[in-house]
Amino acid sequence: MRGPHNIWRLIRTGATFERTGAMGVALDAMQAPRNVRVAARVLGWPFRWLGYAGDPALPPVTRAITALGPAYIKFGQIMSTRPDVVGADLAQQLSYLQDKLPPFPTDIARQMIEADFGAPLDTLFSEFSAPVAAASIAQVHRARRADTGAEVAVKVLRPNIVTAFSRDIDAFHFGADLIEALSPSTRRLRPKDVVSHFEGVVNGELDLRLEAASASLFAENTRDDAHFSVPKPHWELTSRRVLTSDWAEGISLGEVGAIRAAGHDTSALAERILQLFLSHALRDGFFHGDMHQGNLKVGANGDLIAYDFGIMGEIDEYTRRIYAEILMGFIRRDYEGLAHVHFEAGYVPRDRDPAAFARALRSVGEPIFGAEASRISMANLLGYLFEVTERFGMQTRTELILLQRTMVVVEGVARSLDPNLNIWKTARPVVEDYIKANLGPRALVTDSRKILRTLHRAMPLMPVLIEDAIWRARQRAEAPLTPPPRRFNWRSASIGGVVTAAVLLVAAALS
């Protein structure tokens, strides 16, 4: 419950930030208003002796977050997706936050597996290693199935992690409420939505059946993608606390020297990573939301292998089209068209000057396109874009947070393989193919067919819906609205308005 009892948790958090020297750094990075700064100091400075010391070898904010535990580590990772909230420099620092904790004992993992599947572990796995990786939420063991002999990865949640995260997330919600109450100007950044976004991401990771479902869907979507593979889940050995999947054997993308020594073309690999990400986001609307080097490998055959599907991004078809038009606007340097897309989508308030906004977007794009290929950066573009949109009153688009963050991460991974990669040249064919398929004449035909199918299903309702719509129009035109002569279904009337509009739209499209 988000009650005053959370004040103690906030005090412990503030005390730790004060003790580690992170408080001032974090407040400056977020350009926190004076009243928020005062509240933070009140919750921190007098109680700094209660704070955790952390590892003095780490930078202040990273030191504080790791000292506070798993939920804060995960929150720090998520906040690395929000340079508009924490600032570009701190977001960069948080993006390198080490999500590594000491593993819990293998005996406990064995007990959890046996409890979930109701069988001795030795009857499930002929081999079961000590932890090969340990993070804030779960750890991974390398194993071999007893029945098939297949080599698998077994991911096991940390014991009691659900309770621990629920307690801390409750405190985060309380803190967001407090920040918005103390400083209404922060509502543009939607701190409540940020915490809700974090809660949704974490809840998805705390049920490993959901991660297995994401892996299964991602594998289906990408089965025809050349030189790309996804470890498939083993459903019969998967539960809420345990996920068993194919073992991914390969070289981590963080080991660039080893990749080159194995004879792989790092430039081609860099292009493939970027183009695959854009294809998944635009074509499927379902993409890997955590594509850092630790979740990517190169197989012996040169295939790119992605794993760990706890964080996945999803965007609807309309948003995908808007995103593609925004990318293409920058690629073509069509700033007037780019401004029009922002206004049409409602991303910028309509009372702002479109011409001024187009000029501001030009100031974002031109310095980047005038630079050498090695200096063209999506991260820089997003940083400038955040500044411009803030000046024009654009609210944070929570549905694009993960997409924007992942694009920056993917750029970093690609650049680690090929520092001279031209981001825009690489992205252009993917974006153009998507636009041809979804915004051209073919798309108009496809959309019209979808509308017609919807209208066909609604045909039995059409007479009464149209009659109700006509009656309401006459009542508005002739006299104050009075009860109709028979029972009136407001929901049907609303549907009628939509259907009538759809009929006109289809007629116009096909004429």
Active site residues: 290
77: Cα separation from own chain's centroid = 11
Do the beta carbons of residue 231 and residue 153 sit within 8 Å? yes
**Structure tokens, 434:** 């998507």
Do the beta carbons of residue 150 and residue 246 sit within 8 Å? yes
Q: How far apart are CA 145 and CA 153, in angstroms?
A: 10
352 phi and psi, to 5 degrees?
Answer: -90, 160
147, containing H or E segment:
none
Q: How many residues does the chain have?
A: 511
Q: How far apart are CA 406 and CA 126, in angstroms?
A: 38
**Structure tokens, 376:** 């063209």
Q: How far apart are CA 88 and CA 348, in angstroms?
A: 22
Exposed (0-12), middle (13-18) or buried (19+): which is 349, by Cβ within 10 Å?
exposed
Q: How far apart are CA 384 and CA 361, in angstroms?
A: 9
**Structure tokens, 266:** 């790092």
Which residues have C-beta within 8 Å of that of residue 344, sequence separation ≥ 6? none
Q: How far apart are CA 378 and CA 407, in angstroms?
A: 7
Pairing label, strands 312-314, 228-229: unpaired
Q: How far apart are CA 491 and CA 239, in angstroms?
A: 41
Q: How far apart are CA 510 and CA 447, in angstroms?
A: 11
Q: How far apart are CA 60 and CA 24, in angstroms?
A: 10
**How many other CB atoms sit within 10 Å of the CB of residue 51?**
23
**How many other CB atoms sit within 10 Å of the CB of residue 383?**
19
Q: How far apart are CA 286 and CA 313, in angstroms?
A: 6
Q: How far apart are CA 511 and CA 504, in angstroms?
A: 10
432 phi and psi, to 5 degrees?
Answer: -65, -40
**Structure tokens, 322:** 């808007």
* Residues paired with residue 245 on neighbouring β-strands, in sequence order: 153, 233
**Side-chain half-sphere of 226: how many Cα atoms within 13 Å?**
5
Q: For residue 90, give the amino acid letter.
A: L
